[in-house]
Amino acid sequence: MKWSNEKAVSGTAHSILSIYAFLNPQHCHQERFCPPKWTEVLLTVFAVSLFFALGGLCALSILYVSVSVKLSAQETNVTIMVRETEELRANYTRVTEDLHINDSELFMVRELAANFSIVGERLSFYEGEMDTFSYAFISAFTAQSLNCDMSLTSFHGKLYFFSSNKMDWSSSRAFCVSKGADLVTITSRTEQLFLASKIKDTYWIGLNDLDTEGLWVWVNNQTLNETGVLFWHGRDSEISEPDNWKKEDLTGENCALVNNNFNYLNNWFDSSCNSKWKFICEKK
C-alpha cells in the first residue's frame, strides 16, 4: 500500500514535470529532463480541442442572441397585429351601425320619392284637366258648327282631339290645322301606349309617304329614323305593314292609321289616303 502511494506520487510528479518541460524547453535541456513526444502531442490536441470548444461556445452565444432578438421582434409584431385586429373589429362594428342607419335613411328617401311621384302625377292630372277645360269651350263650338263631334284629352302637356266622324287623310289634316293643331305625331312608346288605350276604332295619324314611296314622314317633317319609334303591324305568314296594297287604290297606300283591334305596340297600318277614317288631332 505504501508502494502504491509512492507510485502515484511519482506519476503525478512526472506529469507536472512534463507540462513544465513543454512550456520551458530550454530549461528542460538545462536540467537534462525532457518529457516524451507523445505528451507534447496530447497537450497540442488538448489545446486545439479547448480552442474549438471555446469557439463553439461563442457561436452558441451568438446564435442564442440572434434567436432572442428574432423572438422579441415576433412578439412585437404579434402585439401590433392584435392591436390592429382590435381596431378593425371596432371599425367593423361602427361601419355596421352606420349601414343600419343609412338603410333606414334610404328607406325614408325612397318613400319620399314615391310620395313625390304620386303628388306629381296628381298635379299633372289636374293641370291636364285645366287645359282640357280651357280648350273645351272653343273646340266644342267649332266642332258642333261643323257637325264634327270631338272628344278631348290631355297628356304630357299636349291636347288630343279624337274625332267621331270620318274623313279622308287630307281633309282630316285640314280640319286639325284649322283648329290650330295637326294630325298626331307619335314620338315615343309612352305616347303610343296612351293613344292606343284611348281609341276604339281606326284613326288617321300624321304619317305618310306621299312624296317618296317607302320614306315615311310625319306632318312635322320628321322621319321615322329621327323619331326612333315605329309600331307597324307585323305578320308571320304574309307581308308585314306597310305593304302598299293596290287592289282598292292603284296609287297604293301612302297614309298611316292606327287600329285598336291589335296589340298596342303593333297597330300601325298603311291605307289609301282616299279612304275615310276617324282621326286624331294634336295640339302642343
Whether the predicted pLDDT of 236 surpasses 60: yes
The answer to whether the beta carbons of residues 130 and 124 sit under 8 Å apart is: no
Q: Find the helix or strand (DSSP H, E) in which 276 lies.
A: none
- Per the listing, cell 305616347 goes with 191
Taking Cα atoms as reference points, which of 233, 222, 225 lies closest to residue 265? 233
Res. 141 pLDDT band, cuts 50 70 90: very low
Tell me the Cα Rg of the chain. 56
223 CB contacts (<8 Å, ≥6 apart)?
215, 216, 217
Residue 119 confidence (pLDDT) above 80: no
Would you state the cell numbers that stand for residue 261, as one nine-digit string?
A: 283591334
Phi, psi for residue 258 in degrees, rounded to 5: -115, 145
Domain with CATH 3.10.100.10 in the chain: 148-283
Average pLDDT over residues 101-114: 66
Q: Which residues pair with 281 in a beta bridge?
A: 161, 183
Of 15-19, 54-58, 197-201, 242-246, minimum mean pLDDT range: 15-19
Confidence of residue 102 (pLDDT cuts 50, 70, 90): low
Q: Which residues contact 200 (CB under 8 A, 6 or more apart)?
A: 260
Give 191-248 as a DSSP string: HHHHHHHH-SSEEEEEEE-SSSTT--EETTS-BHHHH----B---SSSPPSP----SS
> Which of 3-7, 133-137, 261-265 is predicted with the least confidence, judged by mean pLDDT?
3-7
pLDDT score, position 54:
77
> Are 248 and 129 spatial neighbours (Cβ–Cβ below 8 Å)?
no
Is residue 258 within 8 Å of residue 268, measured between CB atoms? Answer: yes
Is residue 106 very low, low, confident or very high in pLDDT (cuts 50, 70, 90)? low
Which is it for the CA torsion 35, 41, 44, 46, positive or negative? negative
Instruction: Report the run of H or E that residue 280 belongs to, with start and end.
Output: strand 278-283
Phi, psi (5° rounding) for residue 39? -70, -40
Nearest one of 220, 211, 190 to 255, comparing CA atoms: 211
Average pLDDT over residues 82-108: 70
CATH number for the domain whose boundaries are 148-283: 3.10.100.10
User: Could you report the per-residue pLDDT of 16-68, keeping only the tens digit for each?
Assistant: 445 445 445 544 444 444 555 677 777 787 777 777 777 777 777 787 777 67
Residue 157 dihedral angles phi and psi, to the nearest 5°: 80, 5
Q: How far, in Å, CA of 179 to CA of 165, rounded?
A: 16
pLDDT band at 211 (very low <50, low <70, confident <90, very high): very high
Q: How far apart, in whole angstroms, are the C-alpha atoms of residue 29 and residue 20? A: 12
DSSP, collapsed to helix, strand or coil, labels residue 239 as coil
Contact between 195 and 218 under an 8 Å Cβ cutoff? The reply is no
